[in-house]
């Protein structure tokens, strides 16, 4: 169940926030179709542990609660199980919107900095971005030592049996720490990722044009 939002009367309301979401967030153009039936909130296997359910997030967007939405960690909790999507009577792409909101809040620098999913996403992305391969050893050690050297040693000791088993099975190569493997065509990879950035930029521009073509109160 959603926890009550404190200090609701003082929350900043931005009447143009729905339009901003339509413009900037993937799937955002569908938010206005939500009829607040609550099926998504009741279907989400993890929703009881979230600050806000998708139903509530969509209501807050329409109410203009910009800061409360973009600073929430609710969008980062979505596991992409698609339970809500298959049950939504209005066929909203709820999963896409939740991830789109998370990405947008990250782009604006409003996402909660210590949110674990965000932290892991960034580590994963930065780990493989240049080489095209995930260096699992560096990724794992980065996670172990993120809270300090002593905490990292402790975690490594706790997980030593798993590490040794992986080593014996040939699934862990300590030499990966010195650099690691990478795709043959690094330039091709960089060009492909640049192309994806460009496609996303064009999609946002098209969504912005569509949002500005429609006007009037919502
Ligand atoms: S199930 Fe669909 S229509 Fe119902 S509250 Fe959720 S998003 Fe809105
Ligand atoms: S896709 Fe995300 S929001 Fe939808 S039910 Fe699954 S975890 Fe909840």
CB 53 less than 6 A from any atom of ligand 2? no
Task: Look at residue 2 and tell me whether its pLDDT is greater than 50.
Answer: no
Choice among 11-20, 123-132, 153-162, 203-212 with the minimum mean pLDDT: 203-212
Q: For residues 53 and 129, which has the higher predicted lDDT (pLDDT)?
A: 53
pLDDT digits (tens, 9 = 90+) for 38-54: 999 999 998 888 889 99
CB 126 less than 6 A from any atom of ligand 2? no
C-alpha–C-alpha distance, residues 23 and 108, integer Å:
14
pLDDT at residue 6, as a whole number: 44
Mean pLDDT, all residues of the chain: 88
The residue whose CA is least distant from atom 2 of ligand 1 is: 88
| pTM recorded for the entire structure | 0.80
Write out the DSSP string of 163-193. HHHHHHTT---GGGGGS----S-HHHHHHHH
The residue whose CA is least distant from atom 4 of ligand 2 is: 84
Provide the sign of the torsion angle of the four alpha carbons 139, 141, 142, 144, taken in this order: positive
Model confidence at 157, in pLDDT bands (50, 70, 90)? very high
Please report the atom of ligand 2 found closest to the CA of residue 85.
Answer: 4
Least Cα distance to 1 among 51, 54, 76 occurs for: 51
Once rounded to an integer, what is the mean pLDDT over residues 100-109? Answer: 95
pLDDT digits (tens, 9 = 90+) for 65-75: 999 999 999 99
What domains appear along the chain, each with residue ranges and CATH number?
8-111 (1.10.1060.10), 116-197 (no CATH)
Asked if residue 59 lies in contact with residue 11, where contact means CB atoms within 8 angstroms, the answer is no
Q: How far is the CA of 205 from the centre of ligand 1 (A)?
A: 27
Asked if residue 106 lies in contact with residue 64, where contact means CB atoms within 8 angstroms, the answer is no
């Amino acid at each position: 169940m959603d926890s009550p939002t404190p200090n609701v009367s003082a929350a900043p309301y931005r009447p143009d926030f729905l339009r901003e979401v339509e413009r900037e967030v993937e799937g955002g153009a569908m938010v206005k179709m939500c009829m607040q039936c609550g099926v998504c909130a009741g279907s989400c296997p993890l929703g009881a542990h979230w600050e806000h359910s998708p139903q509530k997030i969509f209501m807050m967007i329409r109410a203009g609660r910009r800061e409360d939405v973009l600073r929430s960690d609710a969008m980062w909790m979505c596991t992409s199980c698609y339970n809500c999507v298959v049950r939504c009577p209005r066929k909203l792409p709820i999963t896409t919107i939740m991830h789109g909101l998370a990405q947008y809040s990250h782009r604006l620098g409003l996402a909660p900095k210590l949110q674990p999913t965000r932290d892991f996403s960034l580590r994963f992305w930065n780990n493989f971005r240049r080489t095209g391969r995930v260096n699992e050893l560096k990724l794992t050690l980065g996670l172990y030592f993120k809270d300090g050297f002593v905490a990292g040693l402790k975690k490594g000791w706790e997980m030593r049996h798993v590490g040794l088993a992986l080593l014996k099975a040939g699934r862990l190569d300590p030499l990966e720490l010195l650099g690691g493997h990478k795709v043959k065509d690094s330039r091709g990879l960089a060009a492909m990722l640049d192309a994806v950035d460009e496609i996303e930029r064009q999609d946002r521009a098209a969504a912005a044009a569509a949002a500005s073509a429609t006007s009037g109160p919502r």
